[in-house]
Amino acid sequence: MSADVRRGLLLPMLLVAVGAGGEEMSVPMSLGKGTGGDRAWAVGHAVHSPSTITMDPLAGPAETPAAVLEFSFTAGKYNWNWANVAPGAVDPSGTLAVRVTYRTEAVPGSPRLNLMVREAGGAAYWVPKGLPLSPGKFTTTTVSLTGLSMPAWSQEDSSGRLEADQIHQVSVGFETHSSGTGRIIIAEVQLVPKGW
């Protein structure tokens, strides 16, 4: 095996080790890519907002893997859902922003897309006005942690601010009184350090 091949195989392992070993991240760390492990996706939803999440190996940009949140919202109800992914072995210390690549197939009249970061203690922080819908094409949006705020329904946070080392979950979803079926295709979620 040539030295170049060995370096090519070892470099990704070293970068992951830096992110997981307690030192601050030096590169953005991806969450939820692939089909399993401790970074697998989960879904939360209202009873009247049935939603499922699956990994599709070809649903992302240029036929790459993506998480696909499919849902059916009920007329006359307040519908909501979340696609959730945890950092798993990735150390979130040093995170300054969250970057998400997504495409939406929203029900008519849907508001903007929700992005939320939840701390280990349960406190939630989200983008107050949501992210723009992106029908027909993938878009990548980066949101600074300082641009997130605590909604009224969140658990209290004793520190009063979102702390990067406490990041427990990143969530993407909808809340609306609109009804119908739709999908959110999430190609990537990244925790982003300084300089990226």
**What does the pLDDT look like over 35-91, one tens digit per residue?**
444 457 899 999 999 999 998 889 999 998 899 999 999 999 999 999 999 988 888
How far from chain centre, in Å, is Cα 121? 18
Mean pLDDT on 115-133: 95
Question: Measuring CA to CA, which residue among 180, 190, 192 is closest to residue 104?
Answer: 180
Higher local confidence (pLDDT), 4 or 50: 50
pTM of the model: 0.82
Residue 33: per-residue pLDDT = 61
How far from chain centre, in Å, is Cα 68? 12
How far from chain centre, in Å, is Cα 9? 27
What is the rounded average pLDDT for all residues in the chain? 84
Given the structure tokens 């095996």, which residue do they identify? Answer: 1
- The top-scoring range by mean pLDDT among 15-19, 38-42, 87-91, 149-153 is 149-153
Q: Does the domain spanning 3-193 belong to CATH 2.60.120.430? A: yes
Mean pLDDT on 124-136: 95
Distance CA 54, CA 44 (A): 13
Encode pLDDT of 157-175 as tens digits.
888 899 999 999 999 999 9
Distance CA 5, CA 8 (A): 5
The answer to whether 181 and 110 are in contact (CB under 8 A) is: no
Question: Measuring CA to CA, which residue among 101, 187, 110 is closest to residue 143?
Answer: 101
Distance CA 115, CA 183 (A): 15
Give, in order, the Cα–Cα distances in Å from 130 to each of 29, 126, 147, 169. Answer: 23, 8, 11, 17
Encode pLDDT of 91-114 as tens digits.
899 999 999 999 999 888 888 999
